[in-house]
Structure 1
């Protein structure tokens, strides 16, 4: 997006709760051209309110009296990012995809939870409901053409992103040596029950995988075999394309941006979902993107 818009003078605030190798690599690349840059790592506290309060204090210098003509953000549902958006109420607001989260209809990027707690949080942090922030967006930048996003089509600019450089075109004249199967890790305990995770493990052991791509928020990889691929700070897509040269590709895991981005180079994409997701935006997105759904309950 920075290259597409030709932005040469910018400040960078990078917030992470993981401090992963990927986070540090992304920050290093982005901050190298920034005028002012700050990397903020804050591990999640036991109670989420404490995490938000600590983060607000850590980034208080960004709420200073300086003004920006344009601001670019991803996580509009974040209490602190939301508050920053409100602080710069006279700036032009631009947003960009936060993985595939923007594509999940009715999700946290579309509307606030209808709870008293969220209402209190927005008041406490001087923020706005997500649906009101969406109305302020001047333009959204996305990789995903053909899918609904947090603003209507007329306010979306589509970018080629990493694919223009890394995605290989399939060569139907060259025979594939073999099929390589990759498991895309995720913080499964956040979205699945222990029983559902065990069911997924059993299914993956039956499939057999060649490579395991661990997620930055994944506390411990699942015991399903396969080599843990070292990403070296790169995105999973780059690692899979490099490791699978000359082979057909199959992907397994939770629905994610990796599943979306590698649609053109994967012969099969299988997503594991809790049963209650079948009638939600997550299940709908899985079907729209051409993934094979496996519901665990």
Structure 2
């Protein structure tokens, strides 16, 4: 979503061409509406530009698998199954994001039945994903965007209860900066559990890396310290480029950048420098 808020062939080509030209080797596909996602076109362009892909999404009120309403849970499972099929059919290795509940503010804590529905859904989806050698990444978010898991420790506990080998922790610096008291301890805990599986890097204000309040020296040092060699993706949002349903969900009210080529170019250089020490 650094490149586009929609996914026509022109939009997809714009995103992939720029990503490849700058030097990225993977693009994270936003599978917010899997019903209208063009898999053949996407697969063709991935091959043309030599990019790998992952898929991510967040659920909404109508598909919240942490709901107590069985019809809403069923709708959420249907959406997740379609998203999983897209990851499979585009040659991806992981489906990640807020796949355990709604992406948005809740009016109260999760209920016991809601948590059970969420965990049962992840176990069910993990079994389907295992058939295609795909992993699930649970992206814990800050308290304003989910009431299921907000920290690494909560995520690891949920993964243990789910009990599937192909479910991993999806760490995001934006959310960690709000909820964790230590980047180092969180990364070490996920690594020690064998569940550090996916990383989003984003600044505290979601703009240019290195211009906010995140302690990047500690964060990258911790990743190097556990010899993390998995996927790292850059995430940034601006009101200039955004999927229409995400503006409200993520509270993106202002324009944090105009030149996404400059943004993405500097982000890649920043990430490489941090990861290489």
Q: Which has the larger radius of gyration?
A: 1
Which structure's relative contact order is higher, taking Cα pairs within 8 Å and 6+ residues apart? 2
> Shorter-chain TM-score: which interval?
0.3 to 0.5
- Whichever structure has more strand as a proportion of its residues is 1
- With the length of structure 1 as denominator, give the TM-score of the two structures: 0.33
**TM-score of the pair, normalised by structure 2:** 0.35
